[in-house]
Amino acid sequence: MAKPNIAFVETSLTDGSFEADLAKEAIKAIGDRAEVITVDYEDLPLLNEKSKLAAPDAALAIRDKFRNADAVWVFISQYQKSIPPMVHNLFDWLSTPMANDSQTTSVLDQKPVAITGVGGFNGMFARVQLGDLLEANNMRVFPVEVGLSVPDEALATDKWVLDEADVKAIDMQADDFLAFISENEEK
């Protein structure tokens, strides 16, 4: 298999977020074994019935990124014990057929997807709900998710230095996810 393209989705759109810290560590763990496609969905409008008639340029551009991705890796934190609404909206756009998009199947169909979360046990609700949403969209959810607890000091300072165990967990997830991507391409 050639180097896979992996679309990275961070649930926080804030620079320097904890999700961004996890994504940066995952990029290090992947190294040169894959290409990373960053997904910026800040300009994506709320999906509604009229949107299905003609997707805006922002939605079409994001759909193209996912169409060109071999896999997806989502870095999530919970929002009121749920998936952040903007993330749900993103996956709604990706899974809904659009009149001005020639692809008849979802750009998510059968794509492997990994989930890495902020919040440890407390962030479990969002990770489970996200996994359910992605499975409902016919994605192949990687069975090993990682949920890392943010130290109180990091919450107070907004600066999270991942410890050795956190880095090792992401390294292991990256190794196993790359193998999962390869196995799923062969099917």
What's the whole-number mean pLDDT along residues 144-166?
92
Q: What is the pLDDT of residues 64-87, one digit of tens each?
A: 999 999 999 999 987 778 899 999
pLDDT value, residue 13: 83
Instruction: Break the chain into its structural domains and give their ranges.
Output: 5-185
Query: How high is the mean pLDDT of the chain?
Result: 90
pLDDT score at 103: 61
Domain 5-185 fold: Rossmann fold (3.40.50)
Backbone angles phi, psi at 60, to 5 degrees: -65, -40
